[in-house]
């Protein structure tokens, strides 16, 4: 196993800064997810780690050694690509052993390692089949087995589940998690699927336009997004943002004509001053919804009701703006109905309207 360090990495394609001064430290045995919208530079960053791109600036350090000038084959990594290509004319066994044969690994060791990898991925029965005789999920497992049979110190995966249907993705996601627990290979995993990122990552690095905008545990990213971008990108549906005005020196905020009390930690936080504008960020599940007025709740009108089985999703209108709210499935709502939304005080976040940056409450600031 090994640590992986991207040290001020920059990669340009003509005028495009695909990766723009990224520094990221992946711990030994950690599962790090690179998450961000299409074109933000995830694949390019991963290819820089693999040695498949010549960087314009920066270093790649693996296991404490600067590998910037080393060939991909000499970096102790294995990669599963975005469009996983298994060789169609080779059996599953030959696909898996391909890399070992190139390395002239002794036959008995090759056999042992192949069986081990096949067992980990539960494709032991499929070794003599050809890829055309496999399901998408099985083919996917062959691609992963082919990578882990190399016993890499570092496993790089670029959207390995993107070609699978929803159910298979769900299954493979759990399998990848189990696989990581068993191999403990330091992993860098690229995805634009935020649910995948939340479920797999020890930590998530959120990328935007070639830069990392937040790197933290899934729960910190979900509950304490560093910006409106992160809050809006993570979560399905994403975080709601309401325009508000700070009152009483930061002890309350006015939203949709209603005064909402703020927890003490917001008064005195940087960016909070009386009369100032803020965005109040609330996750869809972090409201109490009632049909009668009450303190700390602002009015909204129900527009759309979507029963989703385990929960029901309401689209509501607040002062002409749309918001999404999840409620229990057995609640009665009608389109046009007036409801009151009370954000749970401990779940509410404040953001600066111009920059979109999160306001850091005082205790959290002290914890950092």
Ligand X SMILES: Nc1ncnc2c1ncn2[C@@H]1O[C@H](COP(=O)(O)OP(=O)(O)OP(=O)(O)O)[C@@H](O)[C@H]1O
Q: Which of 8, 39, 74, 291 binds ligand X (CB under 6 A)?
A: 39
Query: What minimum distance in Å lies between the beta carbon of 324 and ligand X?
Result: 24
8 Å CB contact between 256 and 298? yes
Q: Which of 43, 97, 138, 326 binds Mg ion (CB under 5 A)?
A: 43
Residues 182 and 201: their CA atoms lie apart, in Å, by 15
Residues 294 and 89: their CA atoms lie apart, in Å, by 68
Sign of the torsion formed by the C-alpha atoms of 123, 125, 130 and 132? negative
Which has the closest alpha carbon to 82: 155, 31, 157, 13? Answer: 157
- The item of Mg ion, ligand X, none sharing an interface with residue 75, based on CB under 5 to 8 Å by kind, is none
Neighbours of 35 (CB within 10 A): 28
Part of the chain binding ligand X (CB under 6 A), chosen from 31-39, 104-112, 248-256, 360-368: 31-39
Neighbours of 42 (CB within 10 A): 27
- The item of Mg ion, ligand X, none sharing an interface with residue 18, based on CB under 5 to 8 Å by kind, is ligand X
Residues 348 and 23: their CA atoms lie apart, in Å, by 30
Neighbours of 156 (CB within 10 A): 26
Written as six digits, the tokens of 104 are 């002239």
Nearer to Mg ion, 24 or 279 (CB): 24
Nearer to ligand X, 81 or 242 (CB): 81
Residue 18 within binding range of ligand X, rule CB under 6 A: yes
Q: Interface mask (CB under 6 A) for ligand X, residues 185-214, using x and -?
A: -------x----------------------
Part of the chain binding ligand X (CB under 6 A), chosen from 32-40, 134-142, 310-318, 335-343: 32-40
Residue 43 within binding range of ligand X, rule CB under 6 A: yes
Residues 71 and 67: their CA atoms lie apart, in Å, by 8
Residue 41 within binding range of ligand X, rule CB under 6 A: yes
Query: What minimum distance in Å lies between the beta carbon of 69 and Mg ion?
Result: 25
Query: Look-up: residue for tokens 């929803």?
Result: 166
Q: Under the rule (CB under 5 A), what is the footprint of Mg ion?
A: 43
Q: Under the rule (CB under 6 A), what is the footprint of ligand X?
A: 13, 16, 18, 36, 38-44, 192
């Amino acid at each position: 196993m090994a640590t992986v360090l991207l040290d001020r990495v920059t990669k340009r394609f003509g005028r495009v800064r695909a990766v723009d001064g990224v520094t990221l430290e992946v711990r030994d045995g950690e599962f790090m997810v690179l998450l961000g919208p299409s074109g933000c530079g995830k694949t390019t960053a991963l290819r820089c780690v693999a040695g498949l791109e010549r960087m314009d600036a920066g270093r790649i350090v693996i296991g404490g050694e600067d590998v910037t000038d080393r060939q991909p084959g000499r970096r102790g990594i294995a990669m599963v690509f975005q469009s996983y290509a298994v060789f169609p004319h080779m059996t599953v066994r030959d696909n898996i052993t391909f890399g070992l044969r190139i390395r002239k690994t002794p036959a008995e060791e090759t056999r042992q390692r192949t069986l081990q990898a096949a067992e980990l991925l539960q494709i032991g029965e499929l070794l003599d089949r050809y890829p055309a005789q496999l399901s998408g999920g099985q083919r996917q497992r062959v691609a992963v087995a082919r990578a882990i049979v190399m016993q890499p110190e570092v496993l790089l995966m670029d959207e390995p589940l993107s070609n699978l249907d929803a159910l298979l993705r769900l299954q493979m996601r759990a399998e990848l998690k189990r696989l990581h627990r068993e191999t403990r290979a330091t992993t860098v995993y690229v995805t634009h699927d935020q649910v995948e990122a939340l479920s797999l990552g020890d930590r998530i690095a959120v990328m935007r336009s070639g830069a990392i905008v937040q790197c933290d545990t899934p729960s910190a990213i979900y509950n304490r997004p560093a910006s409106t971008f992160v809050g809006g990108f993570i979560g399905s549906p994403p975080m709601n943002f309401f325009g508000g005005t700070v009152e009483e020196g930061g002890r309350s905020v006015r939203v949709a004509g209603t005064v909402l009390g703020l927890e003490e930690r917001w008064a005195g936080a940087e960016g909070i001053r009386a009369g100032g504008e803020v965005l109040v960020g609330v996750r869809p599940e972090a409201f109490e919804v009632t049909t009668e007025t009450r303190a700390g709740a602002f009015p909204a009108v129900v527009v759309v009701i979507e029963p989703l089985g385990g929960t029901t999703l309401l689209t509501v209108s607040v002062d002409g703006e749309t918001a999404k709210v999840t409620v229990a499935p057995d609640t009665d709502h009608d389109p046009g109905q007036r409801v009151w939304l009370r954000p749970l005080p401990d779940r509410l976040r404040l953001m600066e309207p111009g920059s979109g940056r999160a306001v850091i409450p005082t205790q959290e600031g002290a914890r950092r």
